[in-house]
Structure 1
Amino acid sequence: MFQSDFLENKTRKVTIVDVEIAVFKQLLIFLYTGNAPRLAEESITRLLFELADKYGAGTLKDECVDVLLTQFNIENVIDMLVWAHFHSIEKLSEKAMKFLVKNFRKLCVQPEWMELMKNHPDLCLRANQQMAVLLPDTESEDSE
């Protein structure tokens, strides 16, 4: 940008409009120090992951995933599962799925579950398949 005929070369300024300043600031701090002080804040972690992905900061992406792996709860697991699936974060997606299956009785009555069924039937199918594995083996009725 600074070595061509782009506006940034003339003004010596780069305008970033697609991210909150607090999140971008954490990216810059990480790039200069190797540490993002607000990384563990639930409102920042996913946004910081997306920004790290956009700018190719792989180490920061990995650190974001490590933090997200500790942030599952009943209120956010469905959203986290969808988000992890969208971003192809297999490690996070699998752990979210395990948490969902383990807490299914609480989750299946929430409006978020209905939205998941409607908008992401593939994820619901995976959840149902994993729940089926947990069911005790019983003999089929045909064998009686």
Structure 2
Amino acid sequence: MSNQINIEEISNGVHCVSWTTDIAKWDGEATKDFKLNSFTNCITDFKMFWSYCSVDYYRWSQYSMTGKYITLCLKEIEETLATTNEEISNSCGEKEIIPDYYREPHAVWVTCDGGQFRPASTKIVLKKAAPFKDSNFFIQFNTFGISEMNAITHMSKYLFLEQKHCDVQFCFPFAQNIGGHVSILAARSPVFAAMFNHDMQESKTGQVVITDIKRDVFYQLLHYLYSGRTSTLMTEDIANPLYAAAHKYSLEDLQKECVRFLFSCVTETTAKDLFEMAAKYAIDDLKEECVRMLLSDIQVSNVVGMLIWSHVHSVEEVKNAALDVVAKNGKTVCLSIDYEKMMRTHPDLCLEATRHMWP
């Protein structure tokens, strides 16, 4: 395993940490410590933990493939941060919104062909990697100066968290309003800018009635506008509706944050729902990840449901894979209760599946 770690600044405020390790021959885990000397004094020392496990996927295909599930975890080495953490706490108060975010990596990904960092093609969340010998791990950071952090923290705390000098109210049921500031909202969102800069009802009354977004989701959207992050850790329950809200108000950065998180939520049980969401908003990378997961999960026990779903949503790659499984296991599938139900609900699909058994 290589001990060489390369650290470089890719662009203004973005650092890339990379190293090469061999993951082809074994399953296991490893750790590595490194220091970012050029980083701000707030955080310099890190421990990287990663583990890998061989898995077979695309089970529907006669060409079985083996890949790697890779788990990556970045941890700040706390022993070196006793004094700096205390300084941050004293300067930012009890709500350490920005410092918590500041210690998180902007992105973690891997390439499996010795490739170099390419911002336009990075994969934010890795689930599988092809079994090449050398895999390059990358960590990308957002960086801020201490004065920048303090300015953002104080502004977001005073104006938004404490709701001072608000000149617009977002109205929700049971008078659970959230205040905002027209100038800040207009500067951050072109949709808000159009709303407040034109002779619309909202600009006259100073009130905006929100009926299509839940209050807690809208609160996170506003929190992101003021501070550049959500007030709580992202969850699957919040990421999906938050993306929809960010899309409505043209907040591209927040959309990317949500998509980045949703990549990590793609599993056998969530892939269908996330694909439908990704298809609705034309998020191609997320759609591809969902398709990969669905292809790896096709088996006799679920092939009928997968066939119907892929037919309804026009996912040809999954549909063709499901038809292959039906063709190879025709007797078992045709005698199942699921297939009997499909004959009543989707007779055209049954005909197509039957013809696929005897090409």
The TM-score normalised by the length of structure 1 is 0.73
Bigger share in helix = 1
Q: Does 1:64 align with 2:313?
A: no
1:90 aligned residue = 316
Measured in 1, the distance between the counterparts of 2:301 and 2:201 equals 45
From 16, 31, 53, the counterpart of 2:256: 31
Inter-CA distance 23–56: structure 2 relative to 1 (3 Å threshold): farther
Letter of the structure 2 residue corresponding to residue 10 of structure 1: V
Matching of residues 18-57 of structure 1 within 5 Å = 22=236, 25=239, 31-32=256-257, 34=260, 36-39=263-266, 41-57=267-283
Inter-CA distance 118–24: structure 2 relative to 1 (3 Å threshold): farther
Matching of residues 110-125 of structure 1 within 5 Å = 110-125=336-351
1:41-83 residue CA offsets vs partner (Å, 9 max, x unmatched): 2221100001111122122111111111111122211011010
Inter-CA distance 6–99: structure 2 relative to 1 (3 Å threshold): farther
Whether the 8 Å CA contact 1:23–1:47 is kept in 2: the answer is no
1:74-110 residue CA offsets vs partner (Å, 9 max, x unmatched): 2211011010011111111101110111112211121
From 335, 349, 354, the counterpart of 1:109: 335
Bigger share in strand = 2
Inter-CA distance 13–123: structure 2 relative to 1 (3 Å threshold): closer
Whether the 8 Å CA contact 2:343–2:350 is kept in 1: the answer is yes
User: Where does structure 1 lack aligned partners over 5 or more consecutive residues?
Assistant: 134-144
User: Where does structure 2 lack aligned partners over 5 or more consecutive residues?
Assistant: 1-190, 215-234, 244-253
Q: Offset of 1:30 from its aligned partner?
A: 8.0
Rg bigger for which structure?
2
Q: Offset of 1:31 from its aligned partner?
A: 2.6
2:357 aligned residue = 131
- CA RMSD of superposed structures (Å): 2.9
Measured in 1, the distance between the counterparts of 2:312 and 2:201 equals 33
1:20-43 residue CA offsets vs partner (Å, 9 max, x unmatched): x7265268598326461121x222
Structure 1, 92-101 or 124-133: larger mean CA deviation = 124-133
The TM-score normalised by the length of structure 2 is 0.32
Q: How many residues align?
A: 127
